Amino acid sequence: MLSKNTVKFIKSLHQKKFRKQEQAFFVEGSKNVTELLRSDYTCTHLLYTEKFAGEQPEMLLAFDGEKVRVNPAALKAVGTFSSNDQALVIAQAKPNLPVQVASDELIIALDDIRDPGNLGTIIRIADWYGIKKMLLSPETADLYNPKVLHASMGSFTRLDFEYVPLLEKLRKARVPVFGAFLKGQSIHAHQGPATGILLMGNESHGINPELEPLVSQKLTIPAFGGAESLNVAVATAVLCDHLRRLTGEGR
């Protein structure tokens, strides 16, 4: 039976201050739940329906935390998505450990990306292109916001993240820094390097002026129509695709 304390705890995790206080978060929906249960995150509570039990019997059996069978209405009442009819998992947040910047990899750095949907989509894009690390400015949306996790579709489980003042981090990095600017070298003309840090700026204001001097290569995506700009997640995908093509074929 689902206790009042568990319901209260899950509802508190809707808010950033309580996620930070409890160092916990939740994900919902079959895709995100199964991705999280397969990951190295520590999961403490699993709420599941008869449908989930029928589709994931082995995963349910292997889970050693607190398990509560509920009906879909109960899931909808405690979560954030009305379409969830399978499961919800509570997990422990990972500590904010330093991300090591190596010269042979591509890393994404996000400067003040406020929209949770954009952050989640960029995480999914990074995972698609085999990027394993992300640097997030302190002003960037909370990784464990339910909207971020939902948009990432489980990809957040395969990346390492560090919230860090980017000025300090980029100054110490000994790798190329690519910056997305409306005025820069066309990505069609860029032939290398293809590893380093890809810096993406705020949805409205772009890259912070104090970070601009640290950008070694300003890149732009040529426009062929009348749109003023691209969504930051779309722009990230285009730039990642170009840089990855320079390093070789994917799977």
What b/e sequence results for 89-114 when a residue is b if at least 16 CB atoms lie within 10 Å of its CB, and e otherwise?
bbbebeeeeebebeeebbbbbbbbbe
Domain ranges for the chain: 4-92, 106-247
CATH architecture of 106-247: 3-Layer(aba) Sandwich (3.40)
In which residue are the tokens 């209405």 written?
Answer: 73
Q: Give the CATH superfamily of 4-92.
A: Ribosomal protein L30/S12 (3.30.1330.30)
What b/e sequence results for 192-206 when a residue is b if at least 16 CB atoms lie within 10 Å of its CB, and e otherwise?
ebbbbbbbbbbeeeb
According to the model, what pLDDT value does residue 247 have?
A: 85
Name the helix (H) or strand (E) containing 190. none
According to the model, what pLDDT value does residue 33 have?
A: 97
According to the model, what pLDDT value does residue 228 have?
A: 87
Q: Using CA of residue 34, residue 16, residue 23, residue 134, what is the dihedral sign?
A: positive
52-103 confidence digits (pLDDT tens): 999 999 999 999 999 999 999 999 999 998 889 999 999 999 999 999 999 9
183-217 confidence digits (pLDDT tens): 899 999 999 899 999 999 998 999 999 999 999 99
